[in-house]
Chains A and B, each alone.
Chain A
Amino acid sequence: MISENMTKILALVKLANNKVEGRTKFQKLVYILKNKGVNFKHKFNYHYFGPYSADLQLEIEELVDQGILIEKSFNPYIYQIKEEWLKNINTDMLKNKKTLIEYLNSRDYQELELIATIYYLVNTSIKDEKIIRNKLNILKPNLTHKIDSAFKIYNNLQKNKA
């Protein structure tokens, strides 16, 4: 059964030029888009690599099991919609997010991990940028060198309401 959520997942992959590289990137793309107003209904919890949804992972697997999505290789996994399905995937519900999706998909997964974590922290009611930065320093000691650029992207995403 293709649920409403799964339809949106497929639209996202199609708008990402039919290629999402890596499970982490996939998870963070959905989480960031959810925070940009796309109604993904997946429930996210915070894990070591940032916001993660077991429900989303299950739906991705189900799309792979049903032969709609292809999961290629390992390290990282590459996700693509099968050619014969591609033309039938309706992207209308995400049409106004195309540029955003392409932009996010072009960033590296660690930046997305940080941006998603910023959104997660903001959602836990932390609003002060200094506190968020220090919280990132605590949670992501291996990514401190990317915090500035992640914040820059986050602030731009917030300014740009699209």
Chain B
Amino acid sequence: MSKKDTKVFRDPIYNLISFDKNDEEPIINIISTPEFQRLRRIRQLGFSNYTFPTAVHDRFSHSLGVAFIIGELADNLGIGDQIEIPTIVEKGEIQNIKIDKNELRLLLKLTGLLHDIGHGPFSHAFEKITGVNHEEMTKKIIETQSISNILSKIRYSETLSKYSKQWIIDILNGTFNPIWIKELISSQLDSDRIDYLLRDAYMCGVTYASFDIKWLFKNIEVDTIKSENDREGLVINAKKGIHAVESFIISRYHMYEQVYFHKTTRCFELIVQKIFERLLYLRKDNKISDSYFLNSSFLDILEDKDNLNAFLELDDFTVFAHIKHWMNISRDKILKKLCNYLLNRKPYKMIKEVELDYKDISELEKDMREKIPKDKFDYYFFVDDYKNVPYKDPYLIGEKVPEKAEHIWLKFENQQKELAEISPIIKSLKNKELKKYRAYVHRDYI
């Protein structure tokens, strides 16, 4: 028996990530596109490396990881040989298109690979200032000739050649049926979260993300969710799998507290936001010339958030180059200083942290307004809010029982129950202490 011809990536989380050069050829082709290679230049964790120096991994490795782990998850689900996908076909009619297990596996891996392709540099701050929405960009990139040509020529499956693009976009839109297929990439317990938790923890050098992934996969299945109109969804065998799910949520809790909402990282995320805000303010007042921009892409995206070509030209490297340029040439002292603080790691001081009650911060803000000159205030004093962190989890900061939209279901012999209802550990994690506000101030005004 000859060995399969594979493309192999070495990976610190899964050791080897292999793709079959024949059956999974479109995956390899997509990886080779400039659109996907761009993800090598987008950091996964923004400024976390200012706190955890080795957290310099990128969306490229995360996307490979999701493509790998979603395949593993699908293999463990015990799904039937054929899956029917109700699809809108020619003339807007509905047709049930059948695919086999291997076709589904490839579809899922392609979706995992592409799910983050629309992320831009410095994700959150950049999106806030430009109005770019990475989910919309992801779909636009999938529609480009470069990607859609690959998806329409899948040698081993005519069905996927015809429908994979439409299905991937539907899965990412959340409007795909059967819904459990969408849940594999986007839900409270999905391959995206599994990969980023494991990868982020490893790359930060922390050991908080520890959960029994193989056991978890062994105990997930597709079943009818009775309280959601008998739809099919992912459920976990309560008796065997509950502890693995609990560790998964606890890992998220630790990562949220220790990494994603770290006070210094958040400070730099806000400083970069202030840099963009200052830039826009100066631009509005005609106080900056074209010489502030090293290429037209940055300006083009500020003019038109939907400019795909401009967007694809931008990455962390381009934006960092601009920030360095502004530090050197800017005549505006505030912009110059903010760029210096970011490039040379000069964080502001966190002077207050409160849970829920904002009154203390309001009073502090009043004091600070007296100390800091008016024109500098918005840049030298700011308040961070737990809601700004993109990694939110209703099992940590939501109400006692999360919305139905965000349930993790466990299966007993005759019934299904939502995780927080039956796990005292998860129930107790839901504490209001995670709902925090933090006030930061420039060190000259402490």
Q: A interface vs B, CB < 8 Å?
A: 1, 3, 23, 45-49, 52, 54-55, 57-59, 61-62, 65-66, 120-121, 124, 128, 130-131, 134-135, 137-139, 141-142
Can you list 11 A-B contacts (CB < 8 A)? A1-B437, A47-B174, A47-B405, A48-B231, A49-B405, A59-B387, A120-B175, A124-B175, A135-B88, A138-B88, A139-B177
The 5 closest A-B pairs by CB, nearest first: A46-B174, A47-B405, A1-B358, A130-B92, A131-B92
Contact A134 B93 (CB under 8 A): yes
Contact B404 A134 (CB under 8 A): no
Q: Which of B92, B228, B383, B404 contacts A128 (CB 8 A)?
A: B92
Could you say which residues of chain B place their CB within 8 Å of the CB of A128?
92
Could you say which residues of chain B place their CB within 8 Å of the CB of A124?
139, 169, 173, 175
Could you say which residues of chain B place their CB within 8 Å of the CB of A65?
356, 432, 435
Q: Which of B179, B358, B362, B392 contacts A54 (CB 8 A)?
A: B392
Q: In chain B, what residue has the closest Cβ to A128?
A: B92
Report how far A141 CA is from B94 CA in the complex, Å. 13
Which of the four size classes fits the interface of chain B?
35 or more
Contact A49 B92 (CB under 8 A): no
Interface mask (B163-197 → A, CB under 8 Å = 1, otherwise 0) = 00000010001110101000000100000000000
Given A54-B392, A54-B406, A58-B397, decide whether A138 and B94 contact each other with a Cβ distance below 8 A. Answer: yes
Report how far A135 CA is from B394 CA in the complex, Å. 29
Report how far A94 CA is from B228 CA in the complex, Å. 34
Could you say which residues of chain B place their CB within 8 Å of the CB of A137?
94
Contact A23 B92 (CB under 8 A): no
Could you say which residues of chain B place their CB within 8 Å of the CB of A121?
175
Contact A52 B231 (CB under 8 A): no
Given A48-B231, A137-B94, decide whether A1 and B383 contact each other with a Cβ distance below 8 A. Answer: yes
B439 to chain A, nearest CB (A): 11
A128 to chain B, nearest CB (A): 6
Contact B405 A58 (CB under 8 A): no
Given A124-B175, A134-B92, decide whether A61 and B399 contact each other with a Cβ distance below 8 A. Answer: yes
A48 to chain B, nearest CB (A): 6
Could you say which residues of chain A place their CB within 8 Å of the CB of B392?
54-55, 58
Report how far A1 CA is from B438 CA in the complex, Å. 12
Contact B174 A45 (CB under 8 A): yes
Q: Which of B139, B229, B397, B406 contacts A142 (CB 8 A)?
A: B229
Q: Which of A3, A62, A139 contacts B175 (CB 8 A)?
A: A139
By secondary structure, the B interface counts as: mixed
A118 to chain B, nearest CB (A): 12
Contact B435 A62 (CB under 8 A): yes
Report how far A48 CA is from B94 CA in the complex, Å. 19
B128 to chain A, nearest CB (A): 10
Q: In chain A, what residue has the closest Cβ to B392?
A: A54
B427 to chain A, nearest CB (A): 16
Contact A1 B231 (CB under 8 A): no
Q: Is B403 interfacial (CB 8 A cutoff)?
A: yes
Q: A48-B228, A58-B392, A124-B139 are in contact. List 11 more A-B contacts (CB 8 A).
A: A47-B405, A54-B406, A58-B387, A120-B175, A121-B175, A124-B169, A128-B92, A130-B92, A131-B88, A134-B92, A139-B175
Q: In chain A, what residue has the closest Cβ to B177?
A: A138
Contact B405 A52 (CB under 8 A): yes
Report how far A108 CA is from B147 CA in the complex, Å. 42
Report how far A66 CA is from B432 CA in the complex, Å. 12
Could you say which residues of chain A place their CB within 8 Å of the CB of B403?
23, 52, 57
B188 to chain A, nearest CB (A): 10
- B169, B174, B177: residue with the most chain A Cβ atoms closer than 10 Å: B174
Q: Is B372 interfacial (CB 8 A cutoff)?
A: no
Q: In chain B, what residue has the closest Cβ to A129?
A: B92
Q: Is B28 interfacial (CB 8 A cutoff)?
A: no
Contact B406 A1 (CB under 8 A): no
Report how far A128 CA is from B400 CA in the complex, Å. 41
Contact B387 A46 (CB under 8 A): no
A9 to chain B, nearest CB (A): 13
Q: In chain B, what residue has the closest Cβ to A54?
A: B392
Given A47-B174, A48-B404, A139-B175, decide whether A58 and B94 contact each other with a Cβ distance below 8 A. Answer: no
Interface mask (B414-446 → A, CB under 8 Å = 1, otherwise 0) = 000000000000000000100101000000000
Contact B399 A66 (CB under 8 A): no
Could you say which residues of chain A place their CB within 8 Å of the CB of B86?
138
Could you say which residues of chain B place their CB within 8 Å of the CB of A66?
356
Report how far A139 CA is from B175 CA in the complex, Å. 7
